[in-house]
Amino acid sequence: MENIYPDNSVILAPLSGFTDIPFRTSARRFGCRYAFTEMIDAGSLVFGTAKTIKFLDRTEDEDWLGVQLVGSDPDILSRAVNILNNHEFSVIDFNMGCPAPKVAKKGEGAMLALRPDDALRVFEAISKNSKYPVSAKIRILDEQDPGPTLEFVRRLANAGARAVTIHGRIRKSFYSGPVFHEIIAEIRGAMNIQIVANGGVMDLKSYDELREKTGCSCVMVARGAMGNPWIFEEIEKRRCVIPSPIELTDEMRKHVLHMADYYGEALAMKIARKIVLDYLKGRGYQRSLKCGVSHMNSINDFETLLSEVRQSHPVI
């Protein structure tokens, strides 16, 4: 069976509240080729909420884009897939890794993976109806024993999964703590379908470590790309890429003005606050500068903030 991703692919993860068109466009400026929409609630898609429909937007320049669904009802998922079949996507991914309370309380995401029989029924409904290749994104089910995760991946493969992305942390760890590389490595060694490793890639060093320890050639980058689209260039060129203050503020401007275009100024400035904070994070900027971000209500406010960033002297 043909692989979804070429060897050595670096994939931008689905990130709820982040991987919209402006975010992906910023990542693509630095070499990101494989990217996903935010996770899309299948029910909201079927009932056609305007916000959800907007998640399906893609630009003409995006030659590879995956879409990710979350849900737990096979019938709703089939209907959601039928809607997606009328758009253009490279793959449909099914989320069985999200631990967020609003998803968990509906028995979806990582909670669904704890009921493998139900999860498989849902996945089969997606796989049977999709005109695109299908994949799944899961977490490891046990930190000590690869058995349960391997069994789950094997069943997903039998149900038509062409690739499975494995986040090497259990549900209860959310996003912190060690990534259990050896569990991913066991599964990678035992399966013929593509296994994509995920967890803890923040720079070239951690990318190399994840690949080496899991044996996976394809890797998914998530938080490492938030406020740092340069990570794609760093991995591709195999050298540390730290933007100068001018490069940083130029990219922030491109990203946030694109958001203003896409959402309208008022809404964009609200959503952009977390984006701006991510760009400033870990770069040694003073706290007072970051506090100013919460008062950013207009493009003028944003431009003022950018001048302050340029004039300030980060301490690393």
User: Binding marks (x or -) toward ligand FMN, 242..281, rule CB under 6 A?
Assistant: ----------------------------------------
We find the least distance from the C-beta atom of residue 233 to ligand FMN, in angstroms, to be 17
Q: By CB under 6 A, name the one of 10, 16, 43, 232 that touches ligand FMN.
A: 16
User: How many residues lie near ligand FMN (CB under 6 A)?
Assistant: 23
Dihedral angle over CA of 216, 217, 220, 221, nearest 10: 110
Q: By CB under 6 A, name the one of 4, 32, 34, 38 that touches ligand FMN.
A: 38
We find the least distance from the C-beta atom of residue 209 to ligand FMN, in angstroms, to be 12
Residue 107 one-letter amino acid: G
Cα angle, residue 46 at apex, residues 42 and 50 outer, rounded to 5°? 95
| φ, ψ dihedrals at 42, nearest 5° | -60, -40
Q: Is 10 in the site for ligand FMN (CB under 6 A)?
A: no
Show contacts with ligand FMN in window 94-113 (CB under 6 A). 95, 97-98
Place of tokens 């942390």: 169
Q: Which is nearer to ligand FMN, 26 or 68 (CB)?
A: 68
Residue 212 one-letter amino acid: E
Residue 64: alpha-carbon gap to chain centroid = 14
Q: Is 137 in the site for ligand FMN (CB under 6 A)?
A: yes
Q: Which is nearer to ligand FMN, 140 or 306 (CB)?
A: 140
Stretch that binds ligand FMN, among 91-99, 143-151, 185-193, 236-244 (CB under 6 A): 91-99
Q: Which is nearer to ligand FMN, 207 or 263 (CB)?
A: 207
Tell me the catalytic residues: 98
Q: Is 71 in the site for ligand FMN (CB under 6 A)?
A: no
DSSP 295: G
Which alpha helices (H) appear in the chain, and where do they start and end? 21-29, 42-46, 50-54, 74-84, 101-104, 110-113, 116-129, 147-158, 181-190, 204-214, 230-237, 245-263, 265-280, 287-292, 299-311
We find the least distance from the C-beta atom of residue 226 to ligand FMN, in angstroms, to be 7
We find the least distance from the C-beta atom of residue 100 to ligand FMN, in angstroms, to be 8
Show contacts with ligand FMN in window 145-184 (CB under 6 A). 167, 175
Residue 51: alpha-carbon gap to chain centroid = 18
We find the least distance from the C-beta atom of residue 307 to ligand FMN, in angstroms, to be 29
Question: Rounded distance, CA 139 to CA 130, Å?
Answer: 23
User: Please, what sign has the CA dihedral across residues 229, 233, 238, 244?
Assistant: negative
Q: Which is nearer to ligand FMN, 206 or 286 (CB)?
A: 206
Place of tokens 């028995």: 107
Q: Is 199 in the site for ligand FMN (CB under 6 A)?
A: yes
CA-closest candidate to residue 254, choices 279, 233, 237, 217:
279
Using CB under 6 A, list all residues that contact ligand FMN. Answer: 13-18, 38-39, 68, 95, 97-98, 137, 167, 175, 198-201, 221-224
